[in-house]
């Protein structure tokens, strides 16, 4: 018997967003189409719609983040929700309370949506299994596993500039081994029909096993980004590395740093993306970050609309 996707209800509707893996092309497209309707809200004088009025959104960031937490907060407030940011350093979990006891207590405070970022892979899944049917969980990044809203805002950005996924070459460059963003991007791009997907980096950070995900593994930058339409650069996640996987960040930049000269290997109209935070001069040159092919800042703007769409859909108001 086929196991039901924990992100969906019995009617196949999205009730939690835990991963891009296992979501259909229809659901991914629904999120992107819904986000498109929200992008212009940032240009209005009153930047609000009433979709989540009366709902309570709890941001539970057990792992540090500025950009993701802030964009979730902005997104929830633009949907007219009441937003609560839990100070994890002073929370009961820091005093030894279990994760599920924390969730149970917050649920008793009439939470409707939990936005969860956690260093342990699978934590949002565990929470989703233990909340009441009317409570929804959105994964804001768990361990090395998934970062679905980042993956979705990357898909929105690619679709915005390239229109169609089915004839694209996309290169993901950098610390793929430790990147939950890379995994979320790979699952989403594959589902949306991208025919040429490459992961690029040194063997220590891009092991050959990634070929099992249906991507081409490249260990030189030239091979990896040659004639690419989209170049997604990733930072070196030193905080997740155990042992020395690289001689130095300087050595990494010499071989895999995306510079204006090396970017010429990609197509002339290629776009350059980065999920942030950016380490200039390590994975990418400042002249590329600030150059005409960079869409790093539009990614952040689109991220607000995508997170609005996700919360609106899981809460059942965007059917």
Per-residue model confidence as pLDDT tens digits over 49-65: 999 999 999 999 988 88
- For residue range 210-221, what is the model confidence (pLDDT) as tens digits? 999 999 999 999
Q: Does 277 appear as a known binding residue? A: yes
Secondary structure of the chain: what % helix, strand, coil (to 5)?
A: 40, 15, 45
312 has binding-site annotation: no
CATH 2.102.10.10 for the 148-296 domain, yes or no? no
Cα 239 to Cα 237: distance, rounded to the nearest angstrom: 5
Give the confidence band of 238 by pLDDT, cuts at 50, 70, 90. low
Q: Where are the beta strands (DSSP E) in the chain?
A: 56-61, 82-85, 113-118, 136-142, 169-173, 196-200, 216-218, 230-233, 271-273
Question: Binding residue per annotation — 68?
Answer: yes
Taking only the tens place, the pLDDT of each residue in 29-40 is 999 999 999 999
Q: Chain centroid to CA 47: how far?
A: 24
- Residue 219: phi, psi to the nearest 5? -110, 10
Closest CA to 123 of 28, 19, 27, 24: 19
Q: Are 148 and 18 in contact (CB under 8 A)?
A: yes
Q: How many CB atoms lie under 10 A from the CB of residue 315?
A: 21
| 25-147+300-314: CATH, from 3.40.50.1370, 3.40.50.620, 3.30.2130.10, 3.40.47.10 | 3.40.50.1370
Q: Is the dihedral of CA 50, 31, 319, 68 positive or negative?
A: negative
Is 260 labelled a binding residue? no
pLDDT for residue 190 is more than 50: yes
- The residues, any chain, with a CB within 8 Å of residue 292's CB and separated by 6 or more, are none
What is the per-residue pLDDT for 98? Answer: 87
| Mean pLDDT estimate for the chain | 92
Q: What is the pLDDT of residues 91-136, one digit of tens each?
A: 656 556 788 998 999 999 999 999 999 989 999 999 999 999 999 9
223 in Cβ contact with 162 (< 8 Å): no
Question: What average pLDDT does range 288-311 have in this prediction?
Answer: 97
Count of CA atoms in the C-beta half-sphere (13 A) of 83: 16
> Most confidently modeled of 3-7, 16-20, 208-212?
16-20
Q: Identify the weakest region by mean pLDDT among 138-147, 164-173, 237-246, 274-283.
A: 237-246
Predicted TM-score (pTM) of this structure: 0.94
Q: Is 44 annotated as a binding residue?
A: no
**31 neighbors 313 (Cβ within 8 angstroms):** yes
User: Is 150 a known ligand-binding residue?
Assistant: yes
Query: Starting from the edge strand earliest in sequence, which strands make up the sheet with 136-142, in order?
Result: 82-85, 56-61, 113-118, 136-142
> Helix count (H) and strand count (E) of the chain?
11, 9
- How many angstroms separate the CA atoms of 27 and 24, rounded? 5
Please write down the HEC assignment for all residues of 173-212: ECCCCCCHHHHHHHHHHHHCCCCEEEEECCCCCCCHHHHH
User: What is residue 56's three-state secondary structure?
Assistant: strand
30 annotated ligand-binding residue: no
CB contact at 8 A, 129 and 308: no
Where in the chain is CATH 3.40.50.1370? 25-147+300-314, 148-296
pLDDT at 297: 96
Residue 240 labeled ligand binder: no
Confirm or deny that 203 is annotated as ligand binding.
no
Q: What is the pLDDT of residue 91?
A: 64
Residue 276 annotated in ligand binding: yes
């Amino acid at each position: 018997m086929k196991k039901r996707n924990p992100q969906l209800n019995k009617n196949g509707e999205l009730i939690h967003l835990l991963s891009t893996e296992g979501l259909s092309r229809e659901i991914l497209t629904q999120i992107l189409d819904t986000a498109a309707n929200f992008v212009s809200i940032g240009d209005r004088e009153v930047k609000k719609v009433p979709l989540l009025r009366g709902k309570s959104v709890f941001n539970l960031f057990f792992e540090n983040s500025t950009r993701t937490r802030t964009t979730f907060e902005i997104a929830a407030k633009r949907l007219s929700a009441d937003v609560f940011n839990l100070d994890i350093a002073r929370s009961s979990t820091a005093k030894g309370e279990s994760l599920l006891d924390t969730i149970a207590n917050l649920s008793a405070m009439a939470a409707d949506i939990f936005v969860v970022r956690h260093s342990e892979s699978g934590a949002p899944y565990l929470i989703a299994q233990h909340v009441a049917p009317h409570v929804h969980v959105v994964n804001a990044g768990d361990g090395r596993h998934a970062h679905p809203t980042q993956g979705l805002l990357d898909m929105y950005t690619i679709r915005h500039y390239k229109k169609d996924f089915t004839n694209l070459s996309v290169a993901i460059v950098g610390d793929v081994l430790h990147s939950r963003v890379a995994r979320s991007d790979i699952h989403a791009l594959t589902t949306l029909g991208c025919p040429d997907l490459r992961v690029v980096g040194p063997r220590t950070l891009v092991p050959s096993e990634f070929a099992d995900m249906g991507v081409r593994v490249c260990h030189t930058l030239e091979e990896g980004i040659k004639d690419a339409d989209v170049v997604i650069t990733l930072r070196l996640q030193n905080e997740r590395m155990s042992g020395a996987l690289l001689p130095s960040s300087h050595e990494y930049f010499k071989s895999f740093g995306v510079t204006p000269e090396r970017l010429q290997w990609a197509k002339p109209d290629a776009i350059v993306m980065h999920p942030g935070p950016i380490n200039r001069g390590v994975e990418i040159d400042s002249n590329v970050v600030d150059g005409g092919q960079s869409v790093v800042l539009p990614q952040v703007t689109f991220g607000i609309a995508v997170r609005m769409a996700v919360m609106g859909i899981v809460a059942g108001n965007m059917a």
